[in-house]
Each structure stands twice: as structure tokens, then as C-alpha cells.
Structure 1
Amino acid sequence: MEDLIKAAFNGVDLTEEEWQFIKDRIALQHFKKGDILLKEKDEVLTQYYVIEGCLRSFFIDTHEREHTLQFAIHDWWISDYTAYFDASTAILTIECIQDTTVLELSRITQKEVFEKIPKVESFFRDKLEHSFGAFQLRIINNLSKTAKEKYLDFLTSHKQIEKHIKNYHIASYLGITTESLSRIRRELAKQ
């Protein structure tokens, strides 16, 4: 367990007492493919660090279409951060698309850790700044790139999971139809 926690907080120089403080407050959880960790309208109390497996966050629009916001794989954090930080209810659903092992960190625990170990707060701020930048680039790419360009970018950034994700999950992440994704794949296979 300690090695898993150290991986989640890689880069933070902590004393043994600080590691123990975190270890006593973080939970190791195992989920099966298809399990739902969070549903729309749930209270959002936790965030998850993925040790192994793959999670997907998505929302369902008024036409009952799913829109995948994020895939989370090894060494990624995931939650419905809008609700997590605003103490509101979830707008996203988080599901396991593979058997998954996570570390679960509650908002209350996070605040306790931040108060006792300020360098962990800096660590999370750096992670959030990086994530915010990545989401901003994703929005720009979705607005400016063709479906084929978005798919090629996806292959570059998600090559380790692309073969394990259903086509409709990839299509909903890219904002295209499954038919368009199939057409793009056929075109690429011919090249």
C-alpha cells in the first residue's frame, strides 16, 4: 500500500510520519468492469487515483447521447471536479471500462492533508494546473481540428488503451459518430 501511495504522490518529498498520515486516510478500492463509481446527481465526496485499469467520465445530454469527457488510466486522477470543488451534485458519471484499482481520497481527507502537509497542496495545485491546460488544449482541438486529426491525436495520447475501449466510447470522446470513426479507421488502414 505504501508503494502505491508513493506512486500517487510521486515527486513529493515526505517524511515517514507524513507518509503514515496520508496512508491512514486513503483507501484502496477494487472495481469490476462496468461498475459505476459516481452517477449524475450524486454528492461528490472523493477523487480517485488510478493504479491500474481504466475509468471513463461522461455526461448524458438532453437527447440521451453520451459525451465522454475523460479516460483515466494508470497515474491519472479523476473525479467530477466541478462538483468536487463546489460541493454540488455530480453532472458526470464515472464508470469502469476495465477492472480497475484506485486509491480513493475524500475531500475532507484532502483538506486535512493540505493543512498538515502544505507541500501536498502544492503538488495538487501543480496537477490541477497541468490538467486545466490539457483540458483547454482539448477544447481548442475539438473546435479547430478535423475528425481525422482528433483521432490521430487520440491515438498518440491514448495508445496504451485504444485497443481496449469500445468504438462508441472513443467516438463520444472525439465528438463524432461511430460511423465516422469507422470511416476514418478504414481510410487510415488503406494508407
Structure 2
Amino acid sequence: MTIEPLLKYMSDYISLTDEEIAYLESKISVRSYLKGQYIVQQGDVCKYSCFVLSGCTKTFYVDNDGQEHILMFSIEDWWTSDMGSFVTQTPADFNVQCIENTELVMFSYDTIEDLYREIPKLERFFRQIIEKGFAASQKRIVRNFSLSAKEQYLHFREQYPKIEQRIPQYMVASYLGITKEFLSKIKSQLIFEQ
């Protein structure tokens, strides 16, 4: 698989010369994971920040009762990792697991540091995508406090139309912080309202 989708994504933020692209390609790796495989597990140090070429992942944590809480999904042209663990190189709070067979462009911690030195504009690129991710997570916190479960589900459907068809409903419910039974009730209510 080519890293063309990554280069296209980057071109929305920065332009790279052919030499810079060649250097970038020499430093990163592309890896395939099978459905169910973990990219990082709670307690391990997250070694990679990953760009999704194909497939779907979920980022989640498991509480002391063994309950899974999904924070986010990542599909094509999205990023996935435990960013806190990756940036600080300390044990991960989250798991990142493949929901489908997934192909990733993988940036190791050392690679990113090398890229910052050799291609300074990549530091600006990564800062911008991290800022966007941070802003999105803050907005999600506000929505969790201010919207009803039904409103959160409608927002999820509107914001992530390509994801819902690809993941089991119990995962959507976990992401929304509700039971799958309550999600079924919301969906029935929405059908009735149409």
C-alpha cells in the first residue's frame, strides 16, 4: 500500500518537496493489523502515532469492573494512538484495538523527533493536528454534559456518518456512555418520529 493518502492529507496543511517526501518515506513504516489486534494496550508505553490508511480502530479504557469505555473511533485519514502516553513515553491509559483489518502508517517517537529536525514544517503540521484533536475532545466533553443521549446520538450520526455502519451497536452505545438497550430505544423513537 502506498502512503499517498497520508501525503494528500498533509498537503492540506503543508507542502513538501520531493526530497522531503523521500526522507519522510525512509523514516516511517506501514504495518497491517488483523481485526482484534491491539496497537497499544493499557499499561504499555505507546510507541507509535498512527495514520489510518484503511480499516477502523477504537480507543478505549477498561475500568476496575471490567467495563469498556470507548473514547473514539478512527477510520481512513484519521489518526490513532494513546497521545498522552506517546508524547510523555509513559504507560498508556488507553487501549487501541482494530475493529477491522487495518493498515497504518506508523511514526515512532524517535522518528517524529528526527522529522522535526530535518523537516521543520512537519513540527507545525503535527502541532496543528494535535490542536484540532484537543479542540474536538473538549467539544465532546461539553456535549456529554449538555446534550441528552438522543441529541448525542444524532450528533454522532451527523458527524461520523461513515462509522456507524462499520461498528457494532454496543460500541456506539459505549461511545455515547449508554446501554445498547437504551440506544435501541432511542433509534426506535427516531424511526417513530419520522
Could you say which TM-score interval applies, normalised by the shorter chain?
Answer: over 0.9
Deviation, 1:168, is: 1.3
Structure 1: tracts of 5 or more residues without a match? none
- 8 Å CA contact 1:53, 1:101 repeated in 2: yes
Once residues 80 and 131 of structure 1 are traced to their aligned partners in structure 2, the CA distance between those partners, rounded to angstroms, is 12
Partner of 1:6: 7
| RMSD, aligned CA | 1.1
Aligned to 2:72: 70
**Does residue 147 of the first structure (1) align with residue 149 of the second (2)?**
yes
The range that moved more, 161-170 or 107-116, is 161-170
Q: Which residue of 2 aligns with 1:61?
A: 63
Deviation at 1:9, TM superposition (A): 2.1
Name the TM-score, length of structure 2 as normaliser.
0.95
**2:52: which partner in 1?**
50
Between the two proteins, the alignment pairs up a number of residues equal to 191
Deviates more, 1:16-25 or 1:4-13: 4-13
Equivalent residue number for residue 189 of structure 1? 191
SS at match of 2:11: coil
Secondary structure of 1:68's aligned partner: strand
Could you tell me which runs of 5 or more consecutive residues in structure 2 were left unpaired when the two chains were aligned.
none
Residue 39 of structure 1: CA displacement? 0.8
Question: What CA deviation, in whole Å up to 9, does each residue of 1:40-71 have, x standing for no partner?
Answer: 11121101100111110000111211110110
TM-score by length of 1: 0.96
Amino acid of the residue matched to residue 49 of structure 2?
Q
1:17-56 alignment to 2 at 5 Å? Answer: 17-56=19-58
Amino acid at match of 1:10: S
Aligned-pair CA distance for 1:35: 1.3
Q: Are 2:31 and 2:105, in contact at CA under 8 Å, matched by a contact in 1?
A: yes
- Structure 1 CA distance for aligned equivalents of residues 23 and 72 of structure 2: 30
Identity in percent: 35
